[in-house]
A and B are shown apart, each in its own frame.
Chain A
């Protein structure tokens, strides 16, 4: 069923499995090395579940030094390494190959230091996103990036994919909130990059490590910026007759000078699915729903919402309902956050992640519904409207022959459309394997060549997550070079 090609496993590596396993056990202890197929099952895929492959072995190190030992061994044997946070990637970023060692950082999950006056927290990278905020909540602080999977996803994965969330219009994404990392490179060297200060010296290595999809090294620790929570926050719901009108309203709110912390958009099918699932009180007779949230003291919130309502009135909303209590606010967000679960109850789905210039929103939504008809598949849209990051959910039936392929084709068409109108293939999920072969649509060979040269610096043998991000033909000679040297 799977159509995304993965490299053929290296027979030499496979043949040396017992030796590699023994070396890993000797280095970090047998209790932290898994190779029994029954136990590696859980590591065969990430959240892109259509693609699976049992790895050669899985290691679950307990320290940075362990990670360094493991990488040294893998380097010596020429074994590809697939880093893994919590395995929530929707792009196949943690998909193993049969000849790889998966290095999972889930046991590195401690908070190492919190410093409120300097406003940072130092954590081991396997800690979940939500646990970072939880660690500083009692002091009134939070960690800003909040991907939908924040309950499960690890900071390591957030750094690898430069994850975003619903609140990045105001607070930015991972890269804007990351101050430093401890990175273990493929040769086992431990490198500290950045730290709890604003500007480093020299090149912004932190900036390229973030979002490098686990291809430069394994991040074992991170220094993150923490922020004081605002006094309060309040969402407002607005329902419109058409997506075009809702899109125009988003543009006008931004132009008015108000900076909401979040502006979430749902189209008709998404509204109905979420309402049936979460009973959030969404109006089901509208074609588009906006959730706009602002922060501050009660009077500041009143002031900002008054401005937003004034702008929205010009677009004749069918419904405009300000949350009147914390319970109502939770309910409004519960509906939105349940979107994926709600769709999952109705059908199998694939979640796309392209970004478009917000001015192209009406055109792209119209084009998408036309394409849905052509493909005969349903599509529901929930997305971050302020920043143009779309999440079309394409519905299909995994048990129906050919449906998944049709869904993938539709998804590719959507992403190509995003690039055509001036946007990009992925706003926050990463390229992984899922969008790897579409990179040609966004980049020239030269654009990709210079990126691969950066990987050459960090991982000259191309052992780290090698078959991801770049189209197979583009990375072929580099991956091949690695095989030759290993043999």
Chain B
């Protein structure tokens, strides 16, 4: 990378982008650099590292705002001091992707990096309530705000979540936060097949006991199906007892109440720790839980894979042993398209290959709309070229 731009303020960010736009110089946008799925080949990197700091925190209003380059850890710590948290359980992909650095707020939002609690608390897009960003022409834009109920104008906040920096460079984000539960319990079933595991998890998620994590990892006798309950202690104990009774048909239910153990278990699911340091491409596939088994079967016909299930079967992490990502991609994308859902290549086998698109739009019509949107936000096509599966001509 030839040079790195590190604006100290939103105004400086805007003028740097304006300058790049006027000369048509492509930029690679970076937060902490921990979730880099692709490289754009741009010679200039723009890092939001120096746009850092919590700008507003009102615990009684359940609201926090932070500049884009603020380390995620700083936000998490500030919230924890008031007994609150980001409900969507942001994931940390450093081990999985073998990256270093400090995950930032802007990067986390751009990657829509939600963890296991997504099934109950929603994703990043469900907690983000306001953004400030700079578009591809160097204009500073704000959308949403600092209140959790806001339908004034279009909801561009959603659009910025998971846009991987291709529509604008975030400078500040505001979130709705929630009280951090004081107690966790994990119900564990041993040795279930993926099919049985989905059945057990669906039963738990269809119960009135507010299950907010449901994952399945490992194989054969070693397989563990995990279901998480959180809240006040008396309530967690009550629900754990009730749910354990409902799950009795699936085998003996172990109830884990140790906090350290539980934190470790769910961090390992959240960060897909079991795939870290192992060869092969890693795919993140979102399907309906009842299609999970069919997807695994279909993909397994052509590929040898390792699977981790989250979101009650609604999220499949696949590690393909195949060394050619095009072959793996074809099998996984075809099966996903057929069953309905989306597949994202999170970790290619080698260096990112142009021939494999990390993103595949739901349909040609959606691809077209997406491409036109990108052109509206970044007419010169300077942001993260090649990301999101299509390019805007320079």
* Cα distance A258–B62 in the bound complex, in angstroms: 12
Q: List 29 A-B contacts (CB under 8 A).
A: A117-B206, A161-B151, A164-B149, A175-B158, A191-B365, A192-B363, A195-B362, A197-B286, A200-B342, A201-B343, A202-B388, A206-B158, A207-B159, A208-B156, A251-B60, A297-B242, A299-B234, A357-B63, A384-B149, A388-B61, A424-B150, A427-B147, A439-B153, A444-B142, A447-B141, A447-B153, A451-B153, A451-B156, A469-B153
- Band of interface residues on B: 35 or more
Contact A230 B208 (CB under 8 A): yes
Query: B residues within 8 A CB of A116?
Result: 206
Contact B156 A454 (CB under 8 A): yes
Contact B162 A203 (CB under 8 A): yes
Query: B residues within 8 A CB of A446?
Result: 139-141
* Cα distance A355–B59 in the bound complex, in angstroms: 17
Asked if B53 is at the interface of the complex by the 8 Å CB criterion, the answer is no
Query: A residues within 8 A CB of B360?
Result: 201-202
> Which stretch of B2-10, B70-78, B367-375 is in the interface?
B367-375
Contact B238 A300 (CB under 8 A): yes
Q: What DSSP secondary structure best describes chain B's contact surface?
A: mixed
Contact B154 A228 (CB under 8 A): no
* Cα distance A392–B112 in the bound complex, in angstroms: 36
Query: B residues within 8 A CB of A255?
Result: 59-60, 82
A158-182 vs B: 1/0 string, CB under 8 Å?
Answer: 0001101000100011011000000
Contact A189 B142 (CB under 8 A): no
Contact A205 B370 (CB under 8 A): yes
* Cα distance A425–B152 in the bound complex, in angstroms: 6
B358-386 vs A: 1/0 string, CB under 8 Å?
Answer: 01111101110110111011000000000
Query: B residues within 8 A CB of A189?
Result: 365
Q: Tell me which of B60, B122, B152, B286 contacts A439 (CB under 8 A).
A: B152
A90 to chain B, nearest CB (A): 12
Contact B340 A207 (CB under 8 A): no
Asked if A363 is at the interface of the complex by the 8 Å CB criterion, the answer is no
Q: Tell me which of A120, A384, A443, A458 contacts B153 (CB under 8 A).
A: A443
Given contacts A176-B122, A450-B377, contact A207 B158 (CB under 8 A): yes
- Please name the 6 residue pairs, one residue from A and one from B, whose CB atoms are nearest each other, closest first: A207-B158, A201-B342, A251-B60, A427-B149, A453-B376, A199-B286
Asked if A279 is at the interface of the complex by the 8 Å CB criterion, the answer is no
Contact A442 B208 (CB under 8 A): no
Contact A355 B147 (CB under 8 A): yes
Contact A424 B369 (CB under 8 A): no
Asked if A211 is at the interface of the complex by the 8 Å CB criterion, the answer is yes
Query: A residues within 8 A CB of B60?
Result: 251-252, 254-255, 358-359
Q: Tell me which of A176, A201, A357, A469 contacts B146 (CB under 8 A).
A: A357
B196-214 contacts to A, CB under 8 A, are 199, 202, 205-208, 210
Q: Could you tell me which B residues sit within 8 Å of A by CB distance? A: 58-63, 82-83, 112, 118-119, 122-123, 125-126, 135, 139-143, 145-159, 161-163, 167, 178-180, 182, 199, 202, 205-208, 210, 232, 234-235, 238-239, 242, 286-290, 311, 314-315, 340-344, 359-363, 365-367, 369-370, 372-374, 376-377, 388-389
Contact B126 A201 (CB under 8 A): no
Query: A residues within 8 A CB of B142?
Result: 443-444, 447
> Which stretch of A33-41, A339-347, A428-436 is in the interface?
A428-436
B195 to chain A, nearest CB (A): 12
B58 to chain A, nearest CB (A): 6
Residue of B nearest to A302 (CB): B234
Residue of B nearest to A388 (CB): B147
Q: Tell me which of A175, A204, A427, A469 contacts B162 (CB under 8 A).
A: A204
